């Protein structure tokens, strides 16, 4: 899938696709927290989607399929130079499009206001909180229901 986001200084052409094992180094380079095992496993399982600007990984997201029987966006990271250019929104829309369950869930820390704003714009609704994962920074959960034609 190719996206063309806006014009001018924020203009970026990019492609979103499942990451392959040969993409690992480029995709892993986006993760500023260096969760090598998590990213490697997601790539191997076909759960890692990457947004590419040519041959550069600009962002990636991991969507697992084991959250109480629903798909769950476990992680979404946009590389610093690519933020605020529509790539995060495009990844969310792509994951929603390939989601195989009636609901798509995700979460973010209460302190992550940019992600909360992105989720709101992407049609996700707040649905709960867990306060024991990251002490002092509760995890907020969101859901977006699939729209089926009738």
Domain borders along the chain are 2-145
User: Given pLDDT bands bounded at 50, 70 and 90, which one contains residue 150?
Assistant: very low
pTM, two decimal places? 0.88
125-130: strand order across its sheet? 2-5, 12-18, 48-53, 56-67, 70-78, 103-109, 139-145, 125-130
Specify the fold of 2-145: Aminopeptidase (3.40.630)
Strand partners, 70: 67
pLDDT of residue 86: 93
What are the pLDDT digits (tens) for 13-66?
789 999 999 999 999 999 988 899 999 999 999 999 999 999 999 999 999 988
pLDDT given at position 32: 87
In the predicted model, what is the mean pLDDT of residues 113-133? 96
Residues counted in the chain: 150
């Amino acid at each position: 899938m190719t996206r063309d986001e806006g014009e001018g200084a924020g203009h970026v052409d990019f492609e979103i696709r499942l990451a392959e094992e040969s993409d690992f180094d480029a995709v892993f380079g986006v993760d500023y927290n260096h969760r090598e095992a998590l990213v490697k496993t997601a790539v191997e399982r076909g759960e890692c989607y990457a947004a590419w600007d040519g041959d550069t990984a600009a962002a990636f997201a991991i969507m697992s399929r084991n959250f109480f029987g629903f798909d769950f966006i476990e992680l979404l990271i946009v590389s610093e130079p690519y933020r605020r250019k529509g790539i995060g929104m495009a990844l969310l829309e792509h994951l929603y499009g390939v989601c195989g369950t009636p609901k798509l869930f995700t979460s973010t820390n209460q302190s992550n206001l940019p992600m909360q704003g992105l989720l709101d714009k992407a049609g996700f609704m707040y649905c709960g909180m867990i306060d024991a994962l990251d002490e002092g920074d509760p995890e907020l959960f969101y859901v977006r229901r699939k729209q089926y034609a009738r």
